[in-house]
Amino acid sequence: MMLMPARRASAATAPTSWLQLPHGEWMRAELSKALAPHCAKVFGYYFARVGQLAKSVELPDLRVQHQFSAALTGEANIRTDLEYWPFAEGVLDAIMMIGQLEFERDPHQVLRELSRSLIADGHIILAGFNPLSPAIMTGVWPANVKKLPWCGRYFSKARINDWLALLNFEIIDSGYVAPTMMFSKTASASVGLTHVSRFIPQVGAMYYIVARKREFPLTVIRHKQRAKPHVNAVPLANRIKSPDMEPK
């Protein structure tokens, strides 16, 4: 199966609120619950919430002194194009981006920029819409093709893992959350998929990835020179014989 190029001609409009998604508040709560155990291990001084959806995800156990939001549009502490990330190299302790990569023009470049600004052993938390979920079928309906989140370009969790591996990230944990068909008119968000997700996790409408940036120092290994064998330069015939060795 040939994968479609990740880069597109122009960026699409990303969701600015969970209320724009069918059962969005329920999905946000499910994602917060899944990320909570991992966020307790994230600590430092600066934590960037990238995109409007990341801004409202509750992470009560996060041990970071300063948090701020960054997005191109909408209300954010920093207004920026993610392809031209305005932070210096190695200044952020952790970054969380949710439901944003699918709508970027060049997702590879965005990940490179985020990685550049992270310190060594810094954390990145990503969440996106799962193309393996039954919710993808809802987006095939003609009335939904241009609606959120189906107007974005879906990437599988495995594909994102590969991109992170190329940037020297170690995957700490990953999984699927919020099993739903994303029918806005249904009273139940999961429509019976919660039981199915215990056996088939891929029915979750969203995936999440928690990764850590690794930097391996380059150490020069000096090879020891082998000792040359000692060779007597005097020919054997010309060597002075000891008197004790003379024949009697």
Pick from 102, 97, 118, 116: nearest CA to 51: 97
CATH number for the domain harbouring residue 72: 3.40.50.150
Confidence class of residue 221 from pLDDT cuts 50, 70 and 90?
A: low
Q: Which domain holds residue 86?
A: 18-217
In the chain, the number of structural domains is 1
Residue-wise pLDDT tens digits, 36-60: 998 888 889 999 999 999 999 999 8
Has residue 51 been placed in a domain? yes
The pTM for the full model equals 0.81
Classify 51 in phi/psi space as left (phi over 0), alpha (psi -120 to 50) or beta. left
The Cα 197–Cα 130 span in angstroms is 13
Identify whether 149 is preceded by a cis peptide bond (ω within 30 of 0): yes
Has residue 230 been placed in a domain? no
Q: Report, as an integer, the average pLDDT of 190-207.
A: 81
Has residue 144 been placed in a domain? yes
Residue-wise pLDDT tens digits, 117-136: 999 999 999 999 998 888 87
The Cα 75–Cα 101 span in angstroms is 18
Has residue 126 been placed in a domain? yes
Cα torsion angle, 106, 83, 128, 138, sign: negative
Has residue 245 been placed in a domain? no
Pick from 196, 111, 195, 198: nearest CA to 161: 111
